[in-house]
Amino acid sequence: MGLRFGRQRAKEPILLLEAARGGDNDARNQLIHDFTPFALKIASQAAGRFLRPGVDEEVSVALMAMNEAISAYDENKGAFLGFAQTVIRRRLVDYFRRQRTRQPEVVLSELDADEESGESEPSRLDRVAHETWRLMQDEENRRAEIEEFQEILLEFGVSLADLAKLAPKHQDSRDRAIQIGRLVASTPQYRDYLAQRKELLVKGLLQEPGISRKILERHRKYIIAVAVILTHDLPYLRSYLLEQ
């Protein structure tokens, strides 16, 4: 009896997902309610601190992302929770990026609030705490971006392990591969072909000055990775690439 009940419960999320995508708002609300602890856990991990529903905006961002995941999910995208986690992390990364541009205003407002207590500037401890929090946020954002990069690369049959093994060893070869990756990213014909076919337009690239079949074959995956970084919203990786 208990085993049968457990199996019924296991099927409920799938049935609720089908109903929610079919326009059943009650099913959608039930899913959001059931998965709120999951969304709260992911948001707290991303923020690097405990978040409180109704107080911290990150929780609202995570729940809106959960609602988005319900609408966008299909069974071909794997397990729902894995898909939802990716959507939540991406939306939180976007939120953190927006917040960083507003951070100076927040700090100034906190300074104004401290005037009543006679403090004209943050204490050293406050500054250290704020800097530590900022570094944690940057690290979490980088981690989420690398995870997103890895997912995108898999669509092209490339893994991070491939890049580690096949990255050009010599600086001149690396520079040349990066130049070709930039050419692919900036040329609509090559960029569209890569996006649609998940492969380089070798025939066209061979017509470009200084590009040989040897370099395209030897550094194909690295060139694709460069083009992916330059054509997607991956600011940390793009900054690292441009420093090479």
> What pLDDT digit, counting tens, does each position of 132-156 carry?
555 566 667 777 888 888 889 999 9
Q: What percent of the chain has pLDDT over 70?
A: 77
- pLDDT band with cut points at 50, 70 and 90 for residue 171: confident
Residue extents of the structural domains in the chain? 35-154, 160-242
- pLDDT band with cut points at 50, 70 and 90 for residue 44: confident
Helices then strands (H, E): number in the chain? Answer: 13, 0
Structure tokens at 128: 């250290």
pLDDT tens digits, one per residue of 107-125: 444 434 444 444 444 455 5
Between 6-15, 23-32, 107-116, 162-171, the lowest mean confidence (pLDDT) is in: 107-116
Q: How many CA atoms lie within 13 A of 14 on its CB side?
A: 8
pLDDT at 29: 86
- pLDDT band with cut points at 50, 70 and 90 for residue 57: confident
Rounded CA-CA distance 183/186 in Å is 5
- pLDDT band with cut points at 50, 70 and 90 for residue 3: very low
Buried b (16+ CB within 10 A) or exposed e, 183-207: bbbebeebbebbeeeeebbeeebee
Rounded CA-CA distance 80/94 in Å is 21
Structure tokens at 180: 């070709």
Mean pLDDT across the stretch 5-34? 72
Kindly report the CA angle at 140 between 53 and 106, in degrees rounded to 5?
Answer: 60
pLDDT tens digits, one per residue of 187-237: 999 999 999 999 999 999 999 998 999 999 999 999 999 999 999 888 888
pLDDT at 56: 82
Structure tokens at 122: 């943050």
